[in-house]
Amino acid sequence: MIPGARLILLGRQGAGKGTQCVRLSRHFVVPHISTGDMLRAAVREGTELGVMAKRVMDEGGLVTDDIMVGLVRERLSQPDAVSRGYILDGFPRTVGQAQALDEITAVRPIDVVLDLDVPRDLVLHRLTSRRVCRDCGTNYVADGVEKLPWICEVCGGDVMHRDDDTPEAIAHRLDLYEEQTSPLIQYYQRNGRLAIVDGVASPDEVFRRLTDAVEAARRPS
């Protein structure tokens, strides 16, 4: 394995993207760039962006392309991303964002776009039972028998139900995904950079499929 990579992980919310991105970022030794985490950090810091983003996120809507592209452009210009690469999680989410990203990455193009494919019914179920550590972002699954208050095993932070994981917001996010994000699959298929990975399997098996897809895409053909 050669360290360094420029990767995008697409997929429905709740497909297990977050966890797989953390593993991929360790495996390829690249920063994990999650636009959702960046926005949640802004919300915690109470910046102007954070105040605006909180409103949008709580409704399950999308922050405007202009703002998101600005954030990502800035982050990808940092030395770690320039020298080693990155794994992008949660971006692009619209064709407009993908077009802007093509321009940003024209000098150092993306190696491969991975689509983590999990059907809508399955993610709906996973999202309603999802709980997240407020401090480190580790995901948990609520099964109704957990001890409260719920403390994160990784960092000791509070494990909470995300404000935007209400049934209404989840349904809205999944609709937006079909409308705005799923066209990206055709977008990347057209220029031959897409690898579809079946995400219905154990986390270890899915991780193996993802790394295999990256290695296959990097092999000179």
The single residue listed with the structure tokens 């390829």 is 28
Q: Least distance to Zn ion from the beta carbon of 158, Å?
A: 8
Report the distance separating Cα 54 and Cα 47, nearest Å: 10
List residues binding Zn ion (CB under 5 A). 133, 135-136, 138, 152, 154-155, 157
Using the minimum distance from each CB to ligand ADP, give the nearer residue, 3 or 50: 50
DSSP line for 126-165 = HHHTEEEETTT--EEE--S---SS-B-TTT--BEE--TT-
Q: Least distance to Zn ion from the beta carbon of 154, Å?
A: 4
Specify whether the CB–CB gap between 100 and 119 falls below 8 A.
Answer: no
Report the catalytic residues.
17, 93, 130, 162, 173
Specify whether the CB–CB gap between 69 and 93 falls below 8 A.
Answer: no
Q: Which residue is nearest to ligand ADP (CB)?
A: 36
Which of ligand ADP, Zn ion, none does residue 50 bind to, with CB < 5 to 8 Å depending on kind?
none
Q: Least distance to ligand ADP from the beta carbon of 33, Å?
A: 11
Q: Least distance to ligand ADP from the beta carbon of 91, Å?
A: 4
Report the distance separating Cα 47 and Cα 10, nearest Å: 28
When binding is defined by CB under 6 A, the residue of 57, 123, 206, 214 that contacts ligand ADP is 57
Which of Zn ion, ligand ADP, none does residue 157 bind to, with CB < 5 to 8 Å depending on kind?
Zn ion
16 lines the binding site for ligand ADP (CB under 6 A): no
Site string for ligand ADP, 61-100 (x = CB under 6 A): xxx----x---------------------xx-x---x---
Residues forming the site for ligand ADP (CB under 6 A): 13, 35-36, 39, 56-57, 60-63, 68, 90-91, 93, 97, 164, 173
